[in-house]
Structure 1
């Protein structure tokens, strides 16, 4: 029994968890992310419990000060700021996580195939990656976000307008955000495909698809997880910037970015309307960055437990 316990404590997963727990900022970031996610998911329940509606307009209560009924006050249309912050968190967190995951899938597929096949294919793919990296990111996103899907031949009525806006931003950001993961996966693949266990699988008759899926991809998971976690914060910033410019999530759907846009005209008379969404963006991005740093240390096999 003691031998089994010792083996479990000495497993790579146990050591990674131990290293992660020592990274206090990463643990704090994880706690903050989980708390924000739970609050955002529970937004409808909290609104029903408090008897408020995030979309209810009350012009007689415009820019009201914090009170028991409205702990963070109301905005320029008399809507409850706390309820809209939580609703905006649903959208901003969903866009950040979804775009980061889609970009990770695209980058993983490109990097895996490019690194394994090598040769001219690898050279072409890497030059394409360099070209995407060299493009000015924010102006490119602004141009893509300003494009009308209907004029591009895409059916606009397949999804509700709210879902269309979220999906469009996710796809736009993912289409230019895959390069970091692609480079990391390619580098890991180039290293792993020369290992003995990969050569043994090839000698046993395993095809390229099976080798990449069963032998290379699981061993390249660490950089993928770290890069995806770190990219969530960047995606939230990009979504907020696009929404602030009026090209992201469109009202009445709240996001932290378009809440900042709505507060722009009230910044001198009601500065808290800009402070709260800005603070949420700052805290969330910081938490994801801390979490990514902690995962990087925890998943690095060269880290020492001392």
Structure 2
């Protein structure tokens, strides 16, 4: 109980910090334009985290990185999970037909191969092929990977559960397969695992984009991204100007952890559903 309470407090703190970080993106009291007078200044009351190498307010740059990079990545993950779930439901429902079996085996093979390749490597390879330093390659690779992973995860759950006693009883009473998947799976036995998997995908998306933009792929200047902010200040950090790097890494960790914290807080408020309903 004490550990659970500490986890709730930790997750609540992460959400509060994340909310505080995103506020400057929508405010007008901090500067985002280049101001050469601020280039050499450290944090002040007007610029809580200081300024970057071009004199732009760092807090606003980090808030813009969340709005311009993290939010599209999260929307892509949520869309990919939804499409992967629908794909799994469609193929499972058509599994009794010859065409459905062939199609399902083909999708399973592709999903297994793609799932064995790290997401960072897939995104990096696609960015090289497209030869574009923007978010498009990251979103495309992320979306395809999430669709296949979500499909494979749900399809495996269905195959493992369809021979359980209360599943067969529900089928004998005239229940539909989709009804069993929703009632005994998504809303019951699989809820926690699916939620944790979603949180992991949302966190990984932010980390992958930050890594690629740091290496020169993904979002680049003058647009804001955690990766290009870190890359622009790496040399300065080696000469003792560590503040920008430390602040950026801290905000990056909070942003990556925020979705998982929100999911954990939401799951603690839900009562566990019984798995042996008639």
TM-score of the two chains, using structure 1 as the length reference: 0.70
1:197 matched to 2:174: no
Q: Can you give the 5+ residue segments of structure 2 that lack an aligned partner in the other structure? A: 96-100
Are 2:115 and 1:133 aligned?
yes
Q: What secondary structure sits across from 1:87 in the alignment? A: helix
Separation of aligned partners in 2, 1:23 and 1:248:
38
Shift of 1:295: 6.2
Change over 3 Å in CA distance of 1:295–1:60 after alignment to 2: closer
Higher deviation after alignment, 93-102 or 280-289: 280-289
TM-score by length of 2: 0.76
SS in 1 for 2:238: coil
What does residue 243 of structure 1 align with?
213
Q: 2:60 aligns with which of 83, 90, 104?
A: 83
Match of 2:201 in 1: 231
- Cα distance change on mapping 1:115 and 1:28 into 2, 3 Å: farther
Cα deviation code 1:75-102 (max 9, x no counterpart)? 1111111111211222343034213202
Cα–Cα, structure 1 residues 146 and 217, in superposed 2: closer, same or farther, change >3 Å? farther
Change (3 A) 1:235 1:30: farther
Q: 1:33 to 1:92 in 2, by over 3 A?
A: farther
CA 1:81–1:140 in 2, change beyond 3 Å: closer, same or farther? same
| Conserved? CA contact 1:95–1:169, under 8 Å | no
Task: Give the distance between the partners of 2:272 and 2:209, measured in 1 at CA.
Answer: 30
Match of residue 65, structure 1, among 31, 42, 46: 42
- CA distance in structure 2 between the aligned counterparts of 1:123 and 1:255, rounded to whole angstroms: 39
Of 262, 265, 273, 2:244 maps to 273
Q: Where do 5+ consecutive residues of structure 1 fail to align?
A: 1-18, 151-163
What SS does the aligned partner of 2:233 have?
A: helix
Tell me, yes or no, if structure 1 residue 74 matches structure 2 residue 51. Answer: yes
Distance 2:145 2:274 in 1: 31
- Residue 53 of structure 1 corresponds to 31
What are the superposed Cα offsets for residues 152-191 of structure 1, whole Å, 9 maximum, x if unpaired? xxxxxxxxxxxx9445432221212334422331133235
The residue correspondences of 1:27-42 to structure 2 (distance < 5 A) are 28-33=10-15, 35-37=17-19, 39-40=21-22, 42=23
Indicate how the Cα distance of structure 1 residues 197 and 37 shifts in structure 2: closer, same or farther if over 3 A, else same.
farther
C-alpha displacement of 1:217: 3.9
How far apart, CA to CA, are the structure 2 residues paired with 1:295 and 1:113?
Answer: 28
Tell me if 1:283 matches 2:254: yes
| Distance in 1 separating the partners of 2:40 and 2:234 | 13
* Kept in 1: contact 2:114–2:145 (CA 8 A): yes
Other-structure match for 1:113 = 90
User: Using a 3 Å threshold, how does the CA distance of structure 1 residues 187 and 140 change in structure 2: closer, same or farther?
Assistant: closer
How many corresponding residue pairs?
Answer: 258
Choose 192-201 or 289-298, whichever is displaced more. Answer: 289-298
Q: Write the distance in 2 (CA, Å) between the matches of 1:23 and 1:120.
A: 49
Residue 98 of structure 2 aligns with which residue?
Answer: none
Q: Does the C-alpha gap of structure 1 residues 215 and 248 become closer, same or farther in structure 2, counting only changes over 3 Å?
A: same
Q: Which residue of 2 aligns with 1:260?
A: 230
Match of 1:43 in 2: 24
* Preserved CA contact (<8 Å) 1:64 1:75: no
Kindly report which structure 2 residues correspond to 1:293-304, keeping only aligned pairs within 5 A, or say none. Answer: 301=273
- Pick one of 183, 206, 210 that aligns with 2:152: 183
Task: Find the aligned partners of 1:61 and 1:67 in 2 and give their Cα distance.
Answer: 10
Which one is further off, 277-286 or 30-39? 30-39
